[in-house]
Amino acid sequence: MIQTLVATLMWALVASLLIFRRKRTDRSITYAALTIAIAMTLNVDDIYTVVDPLLGGTNIATLIADALLMTGLFFLGRGVMKSGEYRPRLVRATVSAPVLLVALLAITASFLFIDRGTTTTTRFMNDLGAQPAAAVYSIINFSYGALVIATMLVLAARQYRHSAGIQRLPAALLSLGSAFGVTLCLAVIVMDIAHAADHLDLMHAIQAAYDPLSVLTFVFLCAGFAVQPAVRRAQHRSRRRHTISFTAQLEPLWLRATHARPGLSQADPLAANREDPEGHLHRVIVEIRDAMIDPRITFAISTDDRDLLERAETHLVGSDSALAETLHVPNVEERGA
C-alpha cells in the first residue's frame, strides 16, 4: 500500500514537471522524478511479482529498482545544486557521476554474493537481510541515499535562509522532505545492522517508523518540487503587474519628457505596443533620464516624481525590496492586451 502511494506521488510529480517545467533547459529534476517513479513502481508488489519472474525469478528486479533509485537521487541532487549559486567542492563531489558509478558497482558486487534462492520475494530484506552480503548491499544503497539527501538538505536550508516571502515555501518543503529522508536512510541502516547481528527486537522497533518516514519524505519532496514552478509563475505575474503599474504612474512624466525632448517614442508611436512590459518601462525610464540630463532643455521634476523614478529603476533591476517599499500601486490592467 505504501509503495503504491509513493509511486502514485512520484508519477503525479512527473506529470506536473512535464507540464510546468517543459521550457526549462535543465531537466535534472524531471529526469530524477521519472527515474524514481519507475523505481518505486517496480517496488509495488503486484508489479514486482510480474516483472521479476521475467528476469529469472531471483530478485534481479530489486537490484534494478535500487539502481534506478540511486540514479534518480543523483539527478535530484544535481538539480537542487544547479538551482542555486552555492556549489562548494564537497557538494559537487557528492552529486558527481564518479561517486554514483562507484556506488552502483558496489551494490552490484554485494548483490551477487547474496544467496537469493530461486524464488521471487517481495520482502527482500526481511527474508534475506540476515545475510552479511544483503546487509552490506542495503547499507551501501541507503548510505548513498543519505549522503545525497543530506546534501540536498544543506542546499535547501541555505536557500530558505537567503529567500523571503513565498520564495521560502519550496525551500521549506524540500528541507523537511530531506530531513525526513536522511532520518529514513539512517533508520534503515540501523535496521540492516540489527538484522545481520540478530538483534531482531531492535530491528522491529525501528521498522515501525519506516512507512511513516517513507510517506513523509516523498510527500514533502514532491510538494517542494511541484510548488517551485507555481511560485515562479506567481512571482512572474506579480512582477509583470508591478511593471505595468510603474509604467502607468510614470506615463505623465514620460509624456512631458518626450514633449520637451522628442526622441524615439515620437518617431515611432506604435513602439510601446510592440514591446514587452519590462522593455517598455526601461525605455520610459531612459527617455525621462535623457530629458533630465540634456543641457539643451529645461526639464525639472518634483521630489515625488524622482522617488517614483528611482523605485521603478530598482524594480526593473529585480530588487524584491522595491515592491515592499513601494507606496500603494494602483491596479492598472495592461492596455492593448
Q: What is the mean pLDDT of each run of 10 residues along the chain (337 residues)?
A: 88 86 73 93 92 90 95 90 74 88 96 87 87 95 95 90 83 94 96 94 93 94 86 81 89 87 55 70 87 83 88 77 39 39
Residue with cell 547474496: 114
Compute CA distances 266 → 258, 260, 287, 303, whole Å.
7, 11, 11, 26
Report pTM. Answer: 0.74
**CA–CA distance, 224 with 7 (Å, rounded to integer):** 17
Place of cell 564537497: 90
Q: Which residues of 172-201 are buried (b: 16+ CB within 10 A; e: fewer)?
A: bbbbbbbbbbbbbbbbbbbbbebbbeeeee
pLDDT in the model for residue 274? 55
Please provide residue 56's backbone torsions phi and psi, each rounded to the nearest 5 degrees.
Answer: 115, -10
Separation CA 178–CA 36 (nearest Å): 15
pLDDT at 22: 64
Report how far residue 195's alpha carbon sits from residue 202's, in angstroms, rounded to the nearest whole number.
8
Single-letter amino acid, residue 66: D
Q: What is the C-alpha separation between 219 and 203, in angstroms, rounded?
A: 25
Per-residue pLDDT, 163: 80
Burial 219-230 (b: 16+ CB within 10 A, else e): bbbbbbbbbbbe
DSSP symbols for 180-216: HHHHHHHHHHHHHHHHHTT-HHHHHHHHTTHHHHHHH
> What contacts 168, CB < 8 A, 6 or more positions away?
160
Instruction: Give pLDDT, residue 330.
Output: 42
Q: Residue holding cell 539527478?
A: 75
